[in-house]
Structure 1
Amino acid sequence: MEYLEDLVVGTKRGFGQYHVTREEVIAFAAKYDPQPFHLSDEAAAKTHFGRLSASGWHSCAMAMAMIVEDLKAHEHAGLGSPGVDELRWLKPVYPGDTLRLENELVEVTPSRSRPDMGSFRSRVTMFNQHDEPVMRFTSIALVRRRP
């Protein structure tokens, strides 16, 4: 089990692999972000994207899928998250891309009001198959302290 006390600022690691399909880009956009450049090759060709691209919110969902898959492989004392900071979509994500994540632990803070828990911040960067960063955010997570 990994607790707050086990976390070391500066720790870096890579994980995940997610292949983006045309079908899911269109399905996600149709339901959650129905802008023309996420739904149609013709509309996307008229924009700076040049071709069909995934919604930034879809990129966030794909990152979450990789994070949860990684969490399943390790026992952790996680308690959820109050949010993210500094979310940036750096480059478009296209159907056919294969994505991965890199994580760097940047802060570990014991709670002042809850002695049984604390929080940590991680800088998460999503890369495409060309090792180009396509998205970056700072994740804030809550975690138990060692009993």
Structure 2
Amino acid sequence: MQYFEDLEVGTKSSFGHYEVTREEVLEFASKYDPQPFHLDDEAAAQTFFGRLSASGWHTCAMSMRMIVDQFRHEKTASIGSPGIDELRWLKPVYPGDTLRMETELIEKRRSKSKPNMGFTKSRQTVFNQHDEPVLTMIGNGIFAVRDPEHTPEG
């Protein structure tokens, strides 16, 4: 199990393989973001997207799936997140795209009030199959501490 103490600022990781399907784009949009350019080919063709595109919120959801799959693969002691910062949708995501993710741990700190956890910040970038960034964000994480009784020096 990878605990808070095991995480090192500056560590970079590349992972994920998410294939975006037309069916999923339509299903997500019809439930959560029913704008015409996410639901209708003709309407989408009249926008700057040029064709049917995934909702930015759908891109976030697909990104979250890749993150959770990676946490499971690495067996991390993730215990949640207080949110994200600086979310940007840089390019449209289209049916047929394949997404992947790169992360860099940019900050970590032990909780002062809850000795069993620590907080992290990671710069996260999602790329399409052409290695073009489509989304960036700063993810905030909460990780379990291996030994809550141990007080770190410094």
Smaller-chain TM-score bracket: over 0.9
Aligned to 1:72: 72
Aligned to 1:8: 8
Distance 1:11 1:50 in 2: 37
Name whichever of 74-83 and 84-93 sits farther off: 74-83
1:121 partnered with 2:121: yes
Distance 1:78 1:66 in 2: 14
Distance 1:59 1:113 in 2: 34
Deviation at 1:74, TM superposition (A): 1.8
Distance 1:141 1:93 in 2: 25
Distance 2:126 2:18 in 1: 10
Give the SS at the match of 1:73.
helix
Question: 8 Å contact 2:44–2:50 — kept in the other structure?
Answer: yes
**What percent identity do the matched residue pairs reach?**
64
Distance 2:75 2:53 in 1: 35
CA deviations 1:64-115 (Å, max 9, x no partner) are: 1111111111222211111100100000000000000001000011111112
Matches within 5 A, 1:21-100: 21-100=21-100
Give the SS at the match of 1:53.
coil
Read off the aligned partner of 1:25 and give its amino acid letter.
V
Aligned to 2:152: none
Count of aligned residue pairs for this structure pair:
147
1:131 partnered with 2:131: yes
Read off the aligned partner of 1:81 and give its amino acid letter.
S
Query: What CA RMSD, in Å, does the superposition of the two structures yield over aligned residues?
Result: 0.7
Q: Which runs of 4+ in 1 moved over 4 A?
A: none
Question: 8 Å contact 2:71–2:78 — kept in the other structure?
Answer: no
Read off the aligned partner of 2:44 and give its amino acid letter.
A
Read off the aligned partner of 1:52 and give its amino acid letter.
L
Matches within 5 A, 1:97-112: 97-112=97-112
Distance 2:31 2:45 in 1: 21
CA deviations 1:21-44 (Å, max 9, x no partner) are: 111101110010000000011000
Give the SS at the match of 2:113.
coil
Read off the aligned partner of 1:53 and give its amino acid letter.
S
Question: 8 Å contact 2:116–2:145 — kept in the other structure?
Answer: yes
